[in-house]
Amino acid sequence: MGKRRVVLTGLGAVTPVGNTVDETWRAILTGKGGVDRITLFDTENFTTKIAAEVKNFDPLNYFEKKEARKLDRFTQFSLVAADEAVKTSGLDLEKEDRDRIGVIVGSGIGGMDSFEQEHIKLLNQGPRRVSPFFITQMIIDIAAGQISLKYNLKGPNFATVSACATSAHAIGSGLRTIQYGDADIMVCGGGEASVTPMSVSGFNSMKAISTRNDEPEKASRPFDLKRDGFIVGEGAGIVILEELEHALARGANIYGEIAGMGFTADAYHITQPAPGGEGAIRAMRIAVKDAGLQPGDIQYINAHGTSTFFNDRNETAAIKTLFGEHASKINISSTKSMTGHLLGAAGGVEMIISTLAVKNNKIPPTINYEFPDPECDLNYTPNKSIDRDVSAAISNSFGFGGHNVCLCVKKY
C-alpha cells in the first residue's frame, strides 16, 4: 500500500509583519520589514537594542483577562494562529472524529518571559510569591496542550523542541503521523516569544545577533556581504495537515500538498553548521526524494537564511552541491530578512510562505540585499518579489545542536 497523501487545508500566523496570514503574506510580497527598536523591555545596557516584535497584539482582543494572565506570550501567539488555521480550514469539528485529530506544536525556548518574571519574584519576594500557574505557563508542551483542550482534540499530542528547526520538525512529524494512519488531521507548527532580557543578552554573549542598532530596518540582511548576525523575532505559524481523501470528502480548500520531509543531524558543532552544509544537503536530498521528485523539479527554496556568516555561506554551498547546474535556475529567498528569526516558530511561518508561493506563483524577496558576497552567489530574489510558475518548493530549517529539516510542498 502506498503512503497516504497529505494536503494543507488551513493556515494561521502571527508575525512581526502581520497578525494574520493575509497580512503577513501581503507584507512579505511588498518587502515590508518588521525589525525595529525593542519596546518590550528597557535596552539601555544591552549591546543589541533591536528585534522583530509582533506589533499591535493585545491579548484581551483574543482572551478573557483572567485567561490571558495564565498564558505565556508564546502560547497566546500559538492559540491565535491555531484559531486562524482552524477557521481557514473550514473544519466543522462537531462532524469530525476528534480521536483522529492531533496536535504537534513546539517552541525553541518556551515561556521565557514567564520564567524571568517569576524568577524576579522569587529573588525579591520569596518562594511563596511564585505564581501557581508558573510551570504551566513556562513548559514548552503547553501550547500543544492548550490547543488540544480548546478544540477537544484527542489524537496524538506532543511538542517538538529542536531550536530553530522546532516547528519544521512538528510539521514533518505531523505528515508522518497521517501517512502512517495514526490520524486524519494534524494541527502543527510552533510559537515563540523570546524577545526578553535573558534571551537577547544570551544571544549577544555568543555574538549571534546583529548590533546594527542605528539601522534596524536594514539589520536582517541574509546572504549580503555586510550581514552581522540574526534578528530575534517572535510569533507563531500553525498549519492544518489533512489526509487527501478526507479533505476531498468534505470539500476542503486545499492550499498545497505536503509531499516530502527530510530530517538529519550535522553531528559536527553545537552552533556552527557542518562544513559545506553537509547535513543540509542530506536533508534536502531526502525531502525531494520523499516527495517523488528530482532536484530539477524544484523552482523555489525558502532558505533558512539567518543573516549569520556561517549559515548563509554553508546553506549556499549545500544548495549548489545538491542542485548542481540547476541551482542557478532556482529562486531562493530568506523571508527572515523581513520577519527576523522566529526561532522555534520560524519553520511554521516559512512553510506557510512556501505554500502560498506555490499556490499563487509568487516568489517573496530577500530584502536588504545590497552587497553581494562572493561565497553567496545564487539568485536570492533580491529586494523585490517576482511572479513565477512554482510547482514545487522546499523550506529549510536548521537549529543549534545540528538539527536539519527540509519540507517539500507541491502544487495540488
Q: Which of 169, 246, 341, 403 is catalytic?
A: 341
Cα separation, 207 vs 76, whole angstroms? 29
* CB burial string 221-260: b at 16+ within 10 A, e below: bbbbeebebbbbbbbbbbbbbbbbebbeeeebebbbbbbb
C-alpha cell at 41: 523591555
DSSP string, 39-70: -SS--TT-S--EEBPPPS--GGGTS-HHHHHT
Judged by DSSP in three states, 153 sits in: coil
* CB burial string 65-86: b at 16+ within 10 A, e below: eeeeebbbbbbbbbbbbbbbbb
* CB burial string 337-373: b at 16+ within 10 A, e below: bbbbbbbbbbbbbbbbbbbbbbbebbbbbbbbbeeeb
Active site (annotated) includes residue 304: yes
Active site (annotated) includes residue 403: no
Judged by DSSP in three states, 375 sits in: coil
Cα separation, 311 vs 315, whole angstroms? 6
Q: Which of 169, 304, 403, 406 is catalytic?
A: 304
Contacts for 66 with CB less than 8 Å, ≥ 6 apart: none
Burial class (CB in 10 A: 0-12, 13-18, 19+), 30: middle
Alpha carbon of residue 385 to chain centroid = 20
Judged by DSSP in three states, 166 sits in: helix
Judged by DSSP in three states, 36 sits in: strand
Cβ–Cβ < 8 Å for 234, 205: no
Closest residue by Cα to residue 168 from 16, 381, 354: 354
Amino acid code (one letter) for 41: F
DSSP string, 232-296: BBEEEEEEEEEEHHHHHHTT----EEEEEEEEEE--S-SSSPPGGGHHHHHHHHHHHHHTT--GG
Amino acid code (one letter) for 295: P
Cβ–Cβ < 8 Å for 335, 353: yes
Active-site residues, by number, are 164, 304, 341
